[in-house]
C-alpha cells in the first residue's frame, strides 16, 4: 500500500468493515495458535476460522463482486471503493490461509498424533489398513461416485458450492492426441473421515485420498496424468425482491436454487496441483487469479470441527464447564411459580438454558395457558422448542409462530419447521415483508385466579438449546405487566395491520432503536457539557453504523468516557485525538462466542441498562425487526451491569483496538489485575449453584410402599 493511501486511511474516522472482520478472524486464529490450549481445542478454533471464511466469501465478497461488476465505485465510510476492498481482502485472506495451514500441519497435528489421533496418507497405511481402504472404495465409494467428462469447448458442469471435487487430467485418445479432463464429486453422503483399523488410537484417512488413490478405476483403459482436489465457493448474497414477491415461501425456495447456480467467488485448489490444472479450472469457473487459493493441506478445514468432539480423548480437550443449575429456578418448581416471585436474568451457557425450555414445555402442557406467541429465527435440528409449540397447538392452545424464512443458511430448515407447525395447527407467519425478524421474544398468556397474566422471555440469542451451550447470551424472563403489554403489541404489529405505537418499555427497530440510542448518547454528552459525570459502556458484536459512530465521537469530544466491548467488526477508530480520544474498544475471544448485547448509560448516577437482539449496524437498525429491552428490576439490572463490567475488565482474553486499526493483546498491569471474564462467569455460576445445594433440604428416599402407592 502506498504512503499516500496509508495517510488517507489514517485520516478517516472510520475503519473498513470487511478488513475489521478479517482482523476478528485472525484473533480467532490466534486461539488455534495458542500452545497453552490442548490440541483438540485448537483444532476447533482453526475449523471455526475456516467456517467463518466460507460465509464471508459467500456473503460479503459475493456482494462486493456484484457491485464491482455493476461498475459501482462509491467508496465506503472508510474511503475504499469495492475494487479497493476486494484487493485488500484478497491480500489478507491469502495470508490467513497460509497461517491456518501452518498452524494445522505444524502445531496441531503433531500433538494430536502423539495423543493417538492420526490423519494418514495412503503411503502411510499398513497392509491391513490398505486392504480396508481398498474394500471401502470397492464396496461403498465406487458404486456412489459418477465421473463427469469436461470438454474445453463445452459448458462446465454445475458443481455444488463448498463441495469437494477432484479434477482429473487424462491422456487424450490416440487418434486425437492432446489431453482430456473430468471432474469427480466427493460424495457428501459419505463420511469424510474414514476410520482405519488401529490397535492403538484413532487413525483415519480422508475420503478424497482414497478416491484419488483409486481414481484410475473410474477411467479404465485411460492413463491418469493428474488428480487434484478443489473446492469452489458461490455467491450467496442474493435476496428476495419482496416488492415483486407473491408467495414468500415459494420465493425463498427459488433463492435456495439460485445459490446453487450463482457465480464462483473463490476457487480453492490443493497447492500441489499443476499450473495446467489451475489454468483449466480458473478459466472454466471464470475466476480471477486473486481469487484462486492454493491450499497447502486438506481442503475444507471447517469439516475438522467434528474431530474436536471425538469421544475418548479428554486429555486432548479443555476441561468441560457444564452449565450450572439456576438457584432461583429449582428443577422441581414450576417456572410460573418462579416468575410469580420475581424477574429472572440468566447468563448462558454458564447458567443453564433449561429454565427457558421448561417455561415453554410447561406452557404447552398447562391447561391454564391460553396462547403462546414466539419468534423463531434459528432453531436446532430436533428442536424441543418447536416440539413444545407443536404440542401446544395440538392441545388446542392458540399458538402463533413467526418463522423467519430469510435467516441466511437456515432457510431450508425454517421452511420445514414452518410446514410442521402449520400442520400441527399453529398460526404461522412467514416473516415481515421487507424486513428480517431478528428479535428474540416469546410471550405466554395464562389464566390465573386474579386474571390473565403474561409471561415473557426476551433473549439476545436464538431459541436453540445447542448454540446456547456455545454462545454467551443473556435471557430475561418476567411477568411484569408493562413488558407483557409491550410484547403483545409487538406481535400485533408483526402479524397484523397494527401501526407501530409507543411502547411502555421496549424499543423496536427499524423505527425506534436508533433514535433511542442517539437520544441516550446525546443525553450523556449534554450532562458532560454541564459538568456532570457521564459514561457509556456497551457490549455488542459489531459496530458499523456511521450515525451511531459519529454520535459516539461527538460524545467523546464532549468528554464522555466510552468503553466498548465489540467482539467482531468495529468501524469506529478509537483513541484519535480530538475525534475519539475518550473511546476505548476491546474484543474478547475465548472458548464461547460472545453474543450478548448489553448497554449501560450513566444517567447522572442512576444507570439505565438495556439488553438487545440488535448490533449497531445499518442492517440491524434499518432492515431488521429487533428489540431493545430496558432491565429495570433491581437485582436483574445489577447482575446485567456486573456482566458488562466483567467483560470490559478482561485482561486475559481481550484485545485492544488501536487507532491504526490493528489489535494488540491486552495485558494485566497494576491498575488492571489478571481477569479472564468467561472463567469468572463460570466460577460465579458454580459457586451460586453449590451454595444453593448446600442450603437445600436433605433428600429423603421414598420407602418401597410409598413408591408402589404413587406408581
The model's pLDDT over 254-265, given as tens digits with 9 standing for 90+, comes to: 544 444 556 899
**Ordered DSSP codes for 66-83:** HHHHTT-----TTS--HH
Domain membership of residue 76 (yes or no) is yes
Extended beta strands in 241-297, E state: 264-270, 292-295
pLDDT tens readout for residues 608-635 = 999 999 999 999 999 999 999 999 999 9
Rounded mean pLDDT, 111-115: 97
Rounded to 10 degrees, the C-alpha dihedral 299/302/305/306 comes to: -70
Residue 240: pLDDT above 50? no
Separation between Cα atoms, residue 605 and residue 129, nearest integer Å: 70
Domain membership of residue 701 (yes or no) is no
Separation between Cα atoms, residue 351 and residue 703, nearest integer Å: 34
Domain membership of residue 706 (yes or no) is no
Question: Which of 505, 532, 553 is where one domain is finished?
Answer: 505
- Between CA 254 and CA 259, with CA 257 as vertex, the angle to 5 degrees is 115
Work out the widest C-alpha separation in the chain, in whole angstroms.
Answer: 92
pLDDT tens readout for residues 631-648 = 999 999 999 999 999 999
pLDDT exceeding 90 applies to what percent of the chain? 79
Answer yes or no: do 375 and 466 share one domain: yes
Residue 56: pLDDT above 60? yes
Q: Give the per-residue pLDDT at 403.
A: 85
With bands split at pLDDT 50, 70 and 90, how would you rate the model's confidence at 697? low
Domain membership of residue 255 (yes or no) is yes
Extended beta strands in 412-488, E state: 427-429, 436-437, 441-448, 451-459, 471-478
The length of the chain in residues reads 711
Answer yes or no: do 299 and 403 share one domain: no
Identify whether the C-beta of residue 238 lies closer than 8 Å to the C-beta of residue 273.
no
Q: Give the per-residue pLDDT at 10.
A: 47
* Residue written as grid cell 469421544: 311
Beta strand 164-171 pairing with 224-234:
antiparallel
pLDDT tens readout for residues 260-318 = 556 899 999 999 999 999 999 999 999 999 999 999 999 999 999 999 989 999 999 99
Question: Which of 465, 488, 505 is where one domain is finished?
Answer: 505
> Residue 551, CB half-sphere, CA atoms under 13 Å: how many?
20
Identify whether the C-beta of residue 249 lies closer than 8 Å to the C-beta of residue 422.
no
Extended beta strands in 576-699, E state: 583-588, 593-594, 597-601, 608-612, 624-630, 654-657, 663-665
The number of folded domains in the chain is: 3
Answer yes or no: do 528 and 422 share one domain: no
Answer yes or no: do 535 and 389 share one domain: no
Answer yes or no: do 382 and 476 share one domain: yes
Rounded mean pLDDT of the chain?
90
Q: Encode 543-574: b = buried (16+ Cβ within 10 Å), e = exposed.
A: bbbeebbbbbbebbebbbbbbbbbbbbbbbbb
The DSSP output letter for 175 is: T
| Cα separation values, 109 from 59, 95, 104, 116, Å | 31, 20, 6, 10
* Residue written as grid cell 471503493: 81
Catalytic status, residue 181: no
Q: Give the per-residue pLDDT at 4.
A: 54
Q: Give the per-residue pLDDT at 619.
A: 93
Separation between Cα atoms, residue 498 and residue 647, nearest integer Å: 39
> Which phi and psi angles does 584 have, rounded to 5°?
-120, 135
Answer yes or no: do 256 and 354 share one domain: no
Answer yes or no: do 575 and 680 share one domain: yes
Domain membership of residue 326 (yes or no) is no
Q: What is the Rg, in whole angstroms, of the alpha carbon atoms belonging to the chain?
A: 28
Answer yes or no: do 299 and 362 share one domain: no
Answer yes or no: do 345 and 250 share one domain: no
Bridge partners of 400, per DSSP, are 373, 427
Domain membership of residue 257 (yes or no) is yes
- Kind plus residue range of the DSSP H or E element containing 303: none
Domain membership of residue 262 (yes or no) is yes
Q: Which domain holds residue 63?
A: 14-308
Domain membership of residue 324 (yes or no) is no
Answer yes or no: do 296 and 344 share one domain: no
Grid cell, residue 257, equals 436454487
Report the CATH number at residue 513.
3.30.870.10
Report the CATH number at residue 34.
3.30.1840.10
Catalytic residue among 165, 348, 438, 457: 438
Question: Which of 467, 482, 505 is where one domain is finished?
Answer: 505
Answer yes or no: do 680 and 621 share one domain: yes
Answer yes or no: do 542 and 648 share one domain: yes
Rounded to 10 degrees, the C-alpha dihedral 120/225/234/95 comes to: 60
Lowest mean pLDDT among 62-66, 172-176, 240-244, 359-363: 240-244
Amino acid at each position: 500500500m502506498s504512503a499516500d493511501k496509508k495517510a488517507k486511511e489514517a485520516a478517516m474516522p472510520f475503519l473498513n468493515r470487511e478488513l475489521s472482520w478479517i482482523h476478528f478472524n485472525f484473533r480467532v486464529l490466534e486461539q488455534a495458535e495458542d500452545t497453552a490450549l490442548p490440541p483438540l481445542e485448537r483444532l476447533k478454533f482453526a475449523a471455526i476460522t475456516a467456517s467463518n471464511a466460507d460465509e464471508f466469501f459467500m456473503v460479503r465478497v459475493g456482494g462486493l463482486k456484484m457491485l464491482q461488476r455493476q461498475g459501482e465505485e462509491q467508496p465506503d465510510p472508510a474511503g475504499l471503493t469495492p475494487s479497493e476492498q476486494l484487493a485488500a481482502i484478497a491480500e489478507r485472506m491469502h495470508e490467513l490461509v497460509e497461517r491456518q495451514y501452518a498452524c494445522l500441519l505444524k502445531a496441531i497435528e503433531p500433538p494430536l498424533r502423539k495423543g493417538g489421533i492420526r490423519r494418514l496418507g495412503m503411503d502411510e497405511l499398513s497392509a491391513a489398513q490398505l486392504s480396508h481402504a481398498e474394500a471401502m472404495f470397492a464396496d461403498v465409494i465406487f458404486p456412489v461416485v459418477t465421473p463427469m467428462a469436461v470438454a474445453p469447448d463445452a459448458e462446465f458442469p454445475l458443481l455444488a458450492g463448498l463441495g469437494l471435487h477432484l479434477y482429473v487430467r487424462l491422456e487424450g485418445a490416440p487418434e486425437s492426441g492432446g489431453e482430456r479432463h473430468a471432474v469427480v464429486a466427493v460424495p457428501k453422503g459419505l463420511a469424510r473421515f474414514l476410520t482405519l483399523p488401529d490397535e492403538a488410537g484413532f487413525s483415519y484417512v480422508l475420503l478424497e485420498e482414497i478416491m484419488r488413490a483409486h481414481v484410475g478405476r473410474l477411467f479404465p483403459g485411460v492413463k491418469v496424468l493428474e488428480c487434484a482436489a478443489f473446492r469452489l465457493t458461490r455467491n450467496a448474497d442474493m435476496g428476495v425482491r419482496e416488492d415483486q414477491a407473491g408467495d414468500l415461501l415459494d420465493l425463498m425456495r427459488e433463492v435456495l436454487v439460485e445459490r446453487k447456480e450463482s457465480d464462483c467467488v473463490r476457487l480453492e485448489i490443493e497447492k500441489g496441483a499443476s499450473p495446467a490444472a489451475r489454468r483449466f479450472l480458473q478459466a472454466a469457473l471464470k475466476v480471477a487469479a486473486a481469487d484462486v487459493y492454493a491450499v497447502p493441506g486438506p481442503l475444507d478445514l471447517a469439516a475438522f470441527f467434528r474431530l474436536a468432539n471425538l469421544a475418548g480423548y479428554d486429555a486432548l480437550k479443555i476441561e468441560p464447564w457444564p452449565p450450572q443449575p439456576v438457584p432461583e429456578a429449582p428443577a422441581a418448581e414450576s417456572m410460573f411459580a418462579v416468575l410469580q416471585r420475581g424477574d429472572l436474568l440468566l447468563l448462558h451457557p454458564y447458567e443453564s438454558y433449561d429454565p427457558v425450555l421448561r417455561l415453554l414445555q410447561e406452557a404447552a402442557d398447562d391447561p391454564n395457558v391460553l396462547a403462546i406467541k414466539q419468534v423463531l429465527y434459528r432453531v436446532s435440528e430436533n428442536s424441543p422448542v418447536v416440539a413444545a409449540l407443536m404440542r401446544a397447538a395440538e392441545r388446542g392452545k392458540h399458538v402463533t409462530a413467526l418463522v423467519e424464512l430469510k435467516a441466511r443458511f437456515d432457510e431450508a430448515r425454517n421452511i420445514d419447521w414452518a410446514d410442521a407447525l402449520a400442520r400441527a395447527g399453529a398460526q404461522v407467519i412467514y416473516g415481515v415483508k421487507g424486513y428480517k425478524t431478528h428479535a428474540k421474544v416469546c410471550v405466554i398468556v395464562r389464566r390465573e385466579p386474579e386474571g390473565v397474566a403474561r409471561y415473557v422471555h426476551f433473549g439476545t440469542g436464538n431459541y436453540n438449546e445447542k448454540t446456547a451451550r456455545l454462545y454467551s447470551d443473556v435471557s430475561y424472563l418476567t411477568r411484569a405487566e408493562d413488558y407483557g403489554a409491550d410484547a403483545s403489541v409487538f406481535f400485533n404489529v408483526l402479524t397484523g395491520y397494527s401501526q407501530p405505537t409507543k411502547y411502555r418499555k421496549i424499543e423496536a427497530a427499524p423505527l425506534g432503536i436508533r433514535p433511542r440510542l442517539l437520544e441516550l448518547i446525546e443525553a450523556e454528552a449534554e450532562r458532560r457539557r454541564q459538568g456532570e459525570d457521564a459514561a457509556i459502556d456497551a457490549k455488542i458484536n459489531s459496530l458499523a453504523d456511521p450515525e451511531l459512530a459519529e454520535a459516539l465521537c461527538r460524545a467523546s469530544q464532549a468528554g464522555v468516557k466510552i468503553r466498548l466491548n465489540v467482539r467482531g467488526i468495529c468501524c469506529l477508530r478509537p483513541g484519535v485525538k480530538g475525534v475519539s480520544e475518550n473511546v476505548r474498544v476491546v474484543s474478547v475471544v475465548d472458548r464461547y462466542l460472545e453474543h450478548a448485547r448489553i448497554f449501560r448509560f450513566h444517567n447522572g448516577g442512576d444507570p439505565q441498562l438495556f439488553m438487545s437482539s440488535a448490533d449497531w449496524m445499518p442492517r440491524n437498525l434499518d432492515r431488521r425487526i429487533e428489540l431493545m429491552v430496558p432491565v429495570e428490576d433491581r437485582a436483574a439490572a445489577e447482575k446485567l451491569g456486573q456482566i458488562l463490567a466483567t467483560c470490559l475488565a478482561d485482561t486475559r482474553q481481550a484485545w485492544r483496538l488501536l487507532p491504526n486499526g490493528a489489535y494488540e493483546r491486552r495485558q494485566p498491569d497494576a491498575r488492571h489485575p489478571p481477569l479472564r471474564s468467561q472463567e469468572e462467569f463460570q466460577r460465579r455460576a458454580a459457586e451460586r449453584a453449590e451454595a444453593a445445594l448446600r442450603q437445600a433440604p436433605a433428600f429423603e428416599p421414598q420407602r418401597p410402599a410409598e413408591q408402589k402407592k404413587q406408581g
